[in-house]
């Protein structure tokens, strides 16, 4: 069944002009629908109505395209600009422009900035990527002439007042030597002469980072966007354009999908074997929530590293593998399966080899940073329970409700032994307890995202509980918090 849309959208989708310019064409009397003069705001059926502009028939809507481009410095992020030496649209290969005559950038990078930029001819998709309510993260590499002090970094993350409002970066971190070396392919020898930081934004104001850094007396010499949502710059070269894969589009769209009834974002933390996954999955099913066990991502990356012969201690070799991982939902929207490419590898993730090396993989700051956007993307649409070891502390510090499952290591060992079918084997039980103690030690003492009780978390002690008893406690806590937040929002 065809769908009616406003005429300015139909003209824009057909590649005639931008929506604003199309509306001006209608207002000027230059557009007709089925031979009759069109009016501003008129609804039309692009598949069945005949649209003309100045008497010329408008073609049917072209194929939708979704592109990633690495913008060089000096190129303007517009469709056309008579003062620009070159625009980003001119970098799009002719074969793509023949299929989609009118593509345009999704947002902008200023003329002197460079890096990852999306282009499309799908206006609705572009709006979903850019709408402030979705908070799609963008990450940038910023080259400075000197290092920031603690006070400067604190100002960037707590907020700097600009004319649009309070501007703040989600994070500002010094880049590693390995990350800087990767930048050399894009920015040349100057990469070695500058001090580089990674900054993440959810806002998108004009020249925002340059203005923020200027306000703390740290002018930006080079600015490179290295991530848009879940999409990373990867190995693309300056000026390169490629089409997004279906998986990349699906991951980006997950960031911007808005639920009709958002519900809460709930984090469930706890040590290994505390029942986070089983409890979270069951509670989500009763509440109609989505569920994600983020441990699958770390296990999946560990399995992939072993499969590819990448050393679990080699962070630089691990990070490029991250884009190959995809959490897959089941019919109940529980993200409890993992795919690599088109292959479901979930059944490979709980082997002794993966158990042995997953802590080595998860301790790397760059690995955790690479996986962070995937986890936050799931939470962006709300109504979800996410389980892991750093969810309430690092991944979702602003979760609506933070839960921490607390249970003794002896109880955890007994539960895991039962899962493995060795509950009656004393030596197996002893070995499992030793494994858990080792994992606890690594997780709680690592410098990056150590295991701890999140600030403001509700601690649920599950010693001696059945799964059913703990699930009931969690469901009750979520419902109580939902009622509380509902009252606060009505009162506010």
Mind giving me the DSSP string for 307-358?
Answer: HHT--TT-HHHHGGGGGGEEEEE-TT-EEEEEEETTEE-GGGTTSHHHHHHH
pLDDT tens sequence across 247-271:
898 888 776 654 334 579 999 998 8
**How far is Cα 12 from Cα 22, in angstroms, rounded to an integer?**
7
Residue of higher predicted confidence among 425 and 399? 399
Q: How many residues does the chain have?
A: 492
> Per-residue pLDDT for 132 more than 90?
no
Cβ atoms of residues 391 and 374 within 8 Å: no
Report how far apart, in Å, the C-alpha atoms of 432 and of each of 260, 270, 406, 412 are.
44, 17, 18, 9
**Burial state string for 366-387 with b = 16 or more CB within 10 A and e = fewer than 16:** bbbbbbbbbbbbbbbbbbbbbb
pLDDT tens sequence across 272-288:
778 888 899 888 888 87
Cβ atoms of residues 393 and 457 within 8 Å: no
> Per-residue pLDDT for 41 more than 80?
yes
Residue of higher predicted confidence among 487 and 8? 8
Band (pLDDT 50/70/90 cuts) for residue 477 is: very high
Q: Are strands 401-406 and 265-269 parallel, antiparallel or unpaired?
A: parallel
Backbone phi, psi, residue 342, to 5°: -100, 10
Q: What is the pLDDT of residue 64?
A: 86
Worst-scoring range by mean pLDDT, 242-251, 324-333, 424-433? 324-333
Most confident of 99-103, 297-301, 419-423: 297-301
> Per-residue pLDDT for 1 more than 50?
no
Cβ atoms of residues 98 and 128 within 8 Å: no
**Burial state string for 161-173 with b = 16 or more CB within 10 A and e = fewer than 16:** ebeeeebbbbbbe
Band (pLDDT 50/70/90 cuts) for residue 120 is: very high
| Mean pLDDT computed over 170-174 | 89
Q: What is the pLDDT of residue 216?
A: 96
Q: What is the pLDDT of residue 229?
A: 87
Q: What is the pLDDT of residue 255?
A: 63
Residue of higher predicted confidence among 32 and 414? 32
Q: How far is Cα of residue 200 from the mean position of the Cα atoms in its chain? A: 11
Looking at every residue in the chain, the average pLDDT score rounds to 85
> Per-residue pLDDT for 83 more than 80?
no
pLDDT tens sequence across 203-239:
778 899 999 999 999 999 999 999 998 898 888 889 9
> Per-residue pLDDT for 160 more than 60?
yes
> Per-residue pLDDT for 403 more than 90?
yes
Q: What is the pLDDT of residue 298?
A: 94
**How far is Cα 354 from Cα 346, in angstroms, rounded to an integer?**
12
Band (pLDDT 50/70/90 cuts) for residue 244 is: very high
Q: What is the pLDDT of residue 331?
A: 55
% residues pLDDT > 70 (the chain) = 92
Q: What is the pLDDT of residue 60?
A: 65
pLDDT tens sequence across 435-472:
878 877 777 776 766 778 899 999 999 888 888 899 99
Backbone phi, psi, residue 73, to 5°: -65, 145
| Mean pLDDT computed over 392-406 | 92
| Mean pLDDT computed over 152-168 | 86
> Per-residue pLDDT for 10 more than 90?
no
Band (pLDDT 50/70/90 cuts) for residue 131 is: low
| Mean pLDDT computed over 371-375 | 89
Contacts 24+ apart (CB under 8 A), 73-78: 73/111, 73/112, 73/113, 73/114, 74/111, 74/112, 75/111, 76/111, 77/105, 77/107, 77/108, 77/109, 77/110, 77/111, 77/117, 78/105, 78/108
Domains of the chain: 5-57 (3.10.290.10), 66-244 (3.30.2350.10), 259-491 (3.40.50.300)
Strand-pair partners of 123: none
Cβ atoms of residues 192 and 180 within 8 Å: yes
Band (pLDDT 50/70/90 cuts) for residue 492 is: very low
Backbone phi, psi, residue 317, to 5°: -85, -25
């Amino acid at each position: 069944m065809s769908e009616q849309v406003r005429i300015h959208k139909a003209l824009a989708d057909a590649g005639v002009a931008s929506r604003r310019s199309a509306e001006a064409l209608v207002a000027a009397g230059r557009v007709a629908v089925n031979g009759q003069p069109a009016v501003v705001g008129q609804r039309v059926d692009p598949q069945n109505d005949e649209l003309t502009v100045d008497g010329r028939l408008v073609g049917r809507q072209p194929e939708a395209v979704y592109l990633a481009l690495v913008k060089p410095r000096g190129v303007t992020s517009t469709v056309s600009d008579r003062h620009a030496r070159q625009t980003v649209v001119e970098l799009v290969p002719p074969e793509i422009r023949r299929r989609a005559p009118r593509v345009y950038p999704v947002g902008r990078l200023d003329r002197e900035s460079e890096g990852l930029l999306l282009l499309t001819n799908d206006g609705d998709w572009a709006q979903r990527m850019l709408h402030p309510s979705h908070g799609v993260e963008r990450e940038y590499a910023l080259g400075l002439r000197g290092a920031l002090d603690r006070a400067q970094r604190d100002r960037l993350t707590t907020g700097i007042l600009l004319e649009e409002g309070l501007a703040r970066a989600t994070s500002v971190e010094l880049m590693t030597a390995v990350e800087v070396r990767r930048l050399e392919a894009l920015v040349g020898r100057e990469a070695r002469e500058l001090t580089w930081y990674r900054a993440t934004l959810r806002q998108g104001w004009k020249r925002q980072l340059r203005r923020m850094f200027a306000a703390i007396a740290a002018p930006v010499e080079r600015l490179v966007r290295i991530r848009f949502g879940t999409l990373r710059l990867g190995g693309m070269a300056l000026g390169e354009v490629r089409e997004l894969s279906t998986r990349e589009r699906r991951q980006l769209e997950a960031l911007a999908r808005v639920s009709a009834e958002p519900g809460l974002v709930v984090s469930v933390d706890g040590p290994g074997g505390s029942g986070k996954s089983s409890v979270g999955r069951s509670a989500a099913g009763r509440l109609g929530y989505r569920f994600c066990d983020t441990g699958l991502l770390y296990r999946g990356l560990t399995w992939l590293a072993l499969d590819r012969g990448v050393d679990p201690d080699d962070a630089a070799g691990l990070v490029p593998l991250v884009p190959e991982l995809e959490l897959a939902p089941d019919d109940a929207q529980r993200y409890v399966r993992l795919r690599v490419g088109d292959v479901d590898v979930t059944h490979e993730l709980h082997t002794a080899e993966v158990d042995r090396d997953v802590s080595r993989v998860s301790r790397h700051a760059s690995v955790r940073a690479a996986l962070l956007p995937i986890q936050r993307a799931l939470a962006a649409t709300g109504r979800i329970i996410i389980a892991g070891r750093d969810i309430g502390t690092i991944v979702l510090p602003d979760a609506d409700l933070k839960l921490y499952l607390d249970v003794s290591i002896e109880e955890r060992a007994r539960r895991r032994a039962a899962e493995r079918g060795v509950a009656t084997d004393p030596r197996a039980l002893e070995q499992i307890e030793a494994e858990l103690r080792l994992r606890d030690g690594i997780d709680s003492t690592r410098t990056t995202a150590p295991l701890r009780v999140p600030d403001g978390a509700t601690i649920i002690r599950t010693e001696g509980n059945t799964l059913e008893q703990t699930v009931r406690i969690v469901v009750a806590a979520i419902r109580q918090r939902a009622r509380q937040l509902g009252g606060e929002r009505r009162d506010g």
